[in-house]
Structure 1
Amino acid sequence: MSDTGEAQPDIWTRRARPAFLYVIYALLLWSIPMGLIAGINPDMAAAITAGMRAYLNALPEPLYALFGTGYLGYTAARAWGKARGSER
């Protein structure tokens, strides 16, 4: 067993959790340049916001449900395994 609790030391599995957090951090940090753009050119900031909203709304709802189910299912299974003591 590796120190991550994985049966096989798979670099993609170990990178998946931090990669998700990096995406969230990037989305949060994007608010800084967007604030500057909005201060300089509000119309451009509105156009960027509208484009991002259109893109996110174009993603199918089942994809969001699949992500949520997978993320919550993984979290519950991991917590259950740790509570049983089979995972560290």
Structure 2
Amino acid sequence: MTTDTTATDPWATRARPAFLYVIYALLLWSLPMGLIAGWRPDIAAAITAGMRDYLNALPEPLYALFGTGYLGYTAARAWGKAKGAER
């Protein structure tokens, strides 16, 4: 059995780093947003409202699908490591 880091499938080897890059981007976005909020609070409020409206427009089943997939992947990896099938 191959792990995702040694798999030959390029999608499997990029899946975890891609997710982390998205999280890093979201965290780094807080720095310019903090500067914008300090300089122009009205613009920062408009950006925040726009992002909130966009995220609220996504259907709830999409969030459930992501959560189920992420937790299922995490549980499967933990079980595989505990079983000794993965290193």
Cα shift at 1:12: 1.1
Say if 2:47 is the partner of 1:48: yes
Q: Which runs of 5 or more structure 2 residues have no equivalent in the other structure?
A: none
Say if 2:33 is the partner of 1:34: yes
Output one character per residue of 1:34-74: Cα deviation in whole Å (capped at 9) or x when no partner. 01111111100000000000000000010000000000001
What residue identity is the alignment partner of 2:69? G
Aligned to 1:11: 10
Identity of aligned residues (%): 81
TM-score normalised by length of structure 1: 0.90
TM-score normalised by length of structure 2: 0.91
RMSD between aligned residues: 1.5
**Whose RCO is larger (CA < 8 A, sep 6+)?**
2
How many correspondences in the alignment? 86
